Amino acid sequence: MKKIITYFLFFSSLFLSLPVSAADPSPPFTLPPLPYAENALEPYISARTLFYHYGKHHQGYVDTLNKLLKEKGLIASSLEQVIEMSSKSPALKTVFNNAAQDWNHTFYWSSMIPGGGGQPTGPILNLILKTFGNYDEFKKQFMEAGTKLFGSGWVWLVLDNHNELKIVPTKDADLPMIHDQKALLTCDIWEHAYYLDYQNRRKDYVEVFLDHLVNWDFANQNLLK
């Protein structure tokens, strides 16, 4: 029931452009903790990169989202709800961008783990073999998606709505959930993700991500969700 009321308030605010005054407003969104220390991904991603990427960029998306929601008088029960709603309204593009970037970064931190990378095990390996024939072919196609994406964005491993495994590049803040796809893992292709450590060598960064950082357990967990 509470969810229905929240939906109603959210929609009312979209269509009537009236500020929503709720007796029980949703609390501001907060920056989720990093799942490891800022230096835990060295030497592949430096503590300096994570200091800025997590502490400044990700924090910035969270702060801007809270500011926009307050300014527009919008409330929501979850980040996913903000993303779904704002993705359907061109007037809420900035809300969408900041909410999606918050979600994307949280998902990206969990897509990596110290000592990760290399060929996976478990159900995700079986799917990769079924879809790409072998791991090297998967790696080749994932790296191509990362290097060919023009400008800023993300490369995702997803299950589409036919339960097929796909490598999907997205632009800017775009993300699988609004395309009826289930995200399994992601690599941030925005320059701020790698520039301090790899400068213009995006290909090297994506290869290091696959060889040394990917958290395949996270992908396996997401498969089961």
Stretch in the footprint of Mn ion (CB under 5 A) among 63-71, 144-152, 185-193, 204-212? 185-193
198 contacts Mn ion (rule: CB under 5 A): no
Residue 195 beta carbon to Mn ion: minimum distance, rounded to whole angstroms: 11
Q: From CA 46, how far away is CA 48, in angstroms rounded?
A: 5
Nearer to Mn ion, 159 or 187 (CB): 187
Stretch in the footprint of Mn ion (CB under 5 A) among 13-21, 126-134, 156-164, 192-200? 192-200
154 contacts Mn ion (rule: CB under 5 A): no
Residue 154 beta carbon to Mn ion: minimum distance, rounded to whole angstroms: 9
Among 44, 96, 109, 190, binds Mn ion (CB under 5 A): 190
Stretch in the footprint of Mn ion (CB under 5 A) among 66-74, 113-121, 176-184, 191-199? 191-199
107 contacts Mn ion (rule: CB under 5 A): no
- Whether the upstream peptide bond of residue 43 has omega within 30° of 0, thus cis, is yes
Long-range contacts (CB closer than 8 Å, 24 or more residues apart) made by 74-82: 74/10, 74/13, 74/20, 75/6, 75/9, 75/10, 75/13, 75/20, 75/22, 75/25, 75/26, 76/6, 76/10, 76/26, 77/2, 77/3, 77/6, 77/26, 79/29, 79/103, 80/177, 81/6, 81/7, 81/10
61 contacts Mn ion (rule: CB under 5 A): no
Residue 83 beta carbon to Mn ion: minimum distance, rounded to whole angstroms: 16
Residues 6+ away with beta carbon under 8 Å from 84? 177, 178
Summarize as ranges the residues that interact with Mn ion (CB under 5 A): 188, 190, 193
